[in-house]
Structure 1
């Protein structure tokens, strides 16, 4: 696949106003791709869209909505399809995570995480797949996480939701292997997506700093690898090594190690010493 396959066609990117989604939008715009950007209301998407359009000379449509609601997902899909533009790519980036004791996590947050990370991604893929299949060359890039490869305490339902994204993407990719739709799933590690995220990852010490990449680096690696035909993308050498090690370390040893690292996000030093 090459960018020339997407000339005068549009790529949809969800969660495009912040963090990795914002970096992915810039990365595709840099290559001259037209974009359809989606974000929550009130995150400055209109201004960012105008900036990208002016700087890179591409056409950009934008839409603001909350993907927690099924009717909003359909409304967005209908709006895109009514634009009568050719859709060459779908980047399912929108998602949310965090760190907390599961019992102390609100029902609302758990529900939101599942609705956005799992349902919205799945339904958007279903809504846009016929349009993608209508192109000679197109792609779906789903954003998962390195958390998909090992259960993790203190991450609520986030790792399980990202494991779903991995399984769904690989299965769908096999189903579509004889079509023009390439399906890839990307598993980023720690990134500078927000000040809160930087603070949490900073508590991991060497483990967190070693895996750290900027959102621009992850976007560049993800897009380049996807266009090269990779199906499973793990940005960063350190992350690749960690994932390989965790696959070979028995769970009885791996889980206490993960617990020790991630407990730093939810417990104070004195609380951890008393556990």
Structure 2
């Protein structure tokens, strides 16, 4: 069979935080720059790094958005307008028309360009705060499992509905149940530093995953040659990265963190790091042979 093509599936949070912070606009504008026709119109043909600033001719691209529901987009090149398909039932996830979600970046660049222009307009007045990122990741896995590739997850709100929810109020957990309690108690209680003990125990609890659901998912998706890059852009509440990070680490992905995301502060940084993630030289698959004599 031919080598695995570069595959990028963009999984984008369109909750109110993402829209109001300007995150969605930055994502769409940055992806558009790498489409072949936009790359040429920007005058990149005279740049020595032109080949690194546009998608490879074999590249496949797909876009899924989510808030309290999951939205996939039919990017078939024969359509005059892209079609949005909504999956409202989080207990029964399915992908309508999966063959038209991942499309050639060159053949369907007009559809991609149109969708990227329309996404910020479509979700401009979205007021939904609930986030079903866990279910959205599983939906993306259903799309990628047949071919593998890179999943780029853009998250501005903590997953709070559906599967694989996290907690951004973990500091309220009872510290006296911590498995780390004995590390500090013997040395500090005698001197009356109970507050210091509580702070240290709380810090150690916050650095550990709330559950193993993301680590277990990572074990599953790596069998299908899928890696996850997370662009964490919390505008207000924290995302509980300690719980989510095992998915990125164990799948061979990268974490890009923008705390208290602000478009004026992080706009250029996010653009450059997203461009790097999409244009860096990447080994999509490898073969190891062992000879014994």
Q: Same fold (TM over 0.5)?
A: no
More helix by share: 1
Q: Normalising by structure 2, report the TM-score.
A: 0.36
Q: Normalising by structure 1, report the TM-score.
A: 0.38
